[in-house]
Amino acid sequence: MLEKVPTKEDIENLIGSPAIEAWSDLISFVESNYNFDPVWDDGGKYSVWEVKYRRSGKTLCAFYAKDGYFTVLIVFGKAEREKFDLARGDFSSEVVELYDNTHQYHDGKWLWVNVSDISLVEDVKRLIMIKKKLKKA
C-alpha cells in the first residue's frame, strides 16, 4: 500500500491530458456506482501506480497508470463470459477483438484494456457492469 496516494495532477503528468479525462470519468463511475474501496499501491512491473477496487477480498477492477496511458484490468469468470457473449454486439470491434484474443485461464479471462483517450470509456463501463451490477440508488 502506498504511503501517499498520487494526486490527480501526479496522474495527469504521468498518463497525459488525453488519458486523464478517461481516467477521471472511469474512477468517478466506479466510485459513484459501487461500494468498493480503492486500494492504492505501486504498480510493480505493470505500471507506476495501481488502484484496485476491492471489497471483502474480491476485486471489481484495477487501474494501472503508465507513461502516456493507463490500463484497466477486469477478470471475467464463466458467468461474466456468458454475459459478454450475449452482449458482444454492444461493444466496439476493438474490445470484441481484445476479448476474443485474450487467453482463457482456469480462473477466467483477464481483460487488459489499454486506454489513452475517451474512446473506450463506455465499453469499459459496460465491461465493469457485466462484472457487477450497478448498486441500487
> What are the b/e assignments for 93-126, b being 16+ CB within 10 Å?
eebeebbeeeeeeeebbebebebbeeebbebbbb
Which residue is listed with cell 504498480? 43
Task: Give the mean pLDDT per block of 10 residues along the chain (137 residues).
Answer: 89 96 98 95 91 96 97 97 96 98 94 98 98 85
Identify the pLDDT of residue 42.
92
The beta-strand segments (E) located in 22-117 are 37-42, 49-55, 58-66, 69-76, 104-105, 108-115
pLDDT at 107: 86
pLDDT at position 137 is 60
